[in-house]
Amino acid sequence: MHVISASRRTDIPAFHAQWFMTRVQQGFAYVRSPFGGGIHEVSLAPSDVAAIVFWTKNASQLLKHLPELQDRGHCFTFLYTVNNYPRFMEPLVPHWSHTLQTMELAAKRFPRSVIRWRYDTIVLTDVLDRAWHMDNFSRLCKIMAPFTKECIFSFCDYYKKTVRNMEQLVPAYYQLGHAESREMAEEMAQLAGSWGIRLSSCAHDSLTSTNVAKARCIDPEILLAVVDSSERVDAIKRLKPAPSRKECGCMASRDIGAYDTCLHGCLYCYANANPEAARNNVARMSHDALCLDPRAGSLRCSPAQERPTTWKDGTCLQG
């Protein structure tokens, strides 16, 4: 049994919910490895999946499918990013009021343990300075407190593509020094704690303390609270550490997403080369594609498909 991560590479609930459900119904998905480009089949059969971890900024499109997902025997949790950034930073992320409505609908069906909040990633600019973040985070803690027990945060890691996009559109961004980052983390921990929320640092161990825990986004403790069988409990307990980057605390999972397929357009995003590339890729995709990765190329079509899924240029999408 494995854990499904859906997904670090794109927002499946927001933009690919129907694709995901089609793959659940078929029982598998193909995934292209970002390292070397190999194609792998990942089982989505309930007998092979211990739990599903959804990463999203907008779960509204997936909510209507969750009863079917449960009926099919799946267990799941959400890593729900809510930053409340202005439009110039997150152009197509829903307003927090929409997120609140989605959370309220989810809360009617699922306990607080199902939703974990991410305040991620923290970007500082001349406008979004430390004072702005502390005020914003304080207001969000009040909003999120009824729905979650944990907030996972991180300061932005500036990969080359991130730097390129930020320098073009938000040149007045900057990074805090280590001492000020720790001070800000401690202040955030106090604010979160006053609302009964534990603060956890993602992949920045130097920020951990008695008040700030080390985050594990794929976390056995969380998953054990949602699984429903002894077989799944045993599978979760057997998970081994599988960090996705330095100081990452995650346990092993199978990610079924693809880079350059998220339409939120966030300027700090590491998963898209740029917003235009993502728009072009998604425009060429269809819900019954076996592989979400637009770079998959021609592969043999599955007998389960009534007809091959194609790009506009006729190339088989199956991957």
Per residue in 18-61, pLDDT (tens digit) is 999 999 999 999 998 877 778 889 999 999 999 999 999 999 99
Distances, alpha carbon 185 to alpha carbons 145, 199, 315, in Å? 18, 8, 49
| Report field, pTM of the whole predicted structure over 0.85 | yes
* pLDDT tens digits, one per residue of 159-190: 888 898 899 889 899 999 999 999 999 999 99
224 phi/psi in degrees, rounded to 5: -65, -25
Cis peptide before 286 (omega within 30 of 0): no
Q: How many CB atoms lie within 10 A of CB 46?
A: 17
* pLDDT tens digits, one per residue of 191-246: 999 999 999 999 999 999 999 999 999 999 999 999 999 999 999 999 999 999 99
Q: What is the DSSP letter of 296?
A: -
* Domains, the chain, with CATH or none: 2-283 (3.80.30.30)
Residue 319 above 60 pLDDT? no
Q: What is the rounded distance in angstroms from the CA atom of residue 259 to the CA atom of residue 274?
A: 11
* pLDDT tens digits, one per residue of 72-131: 999 999 999 999 999 999 999 999 899 999 999 998 888 888 999 999 999 999 999 999
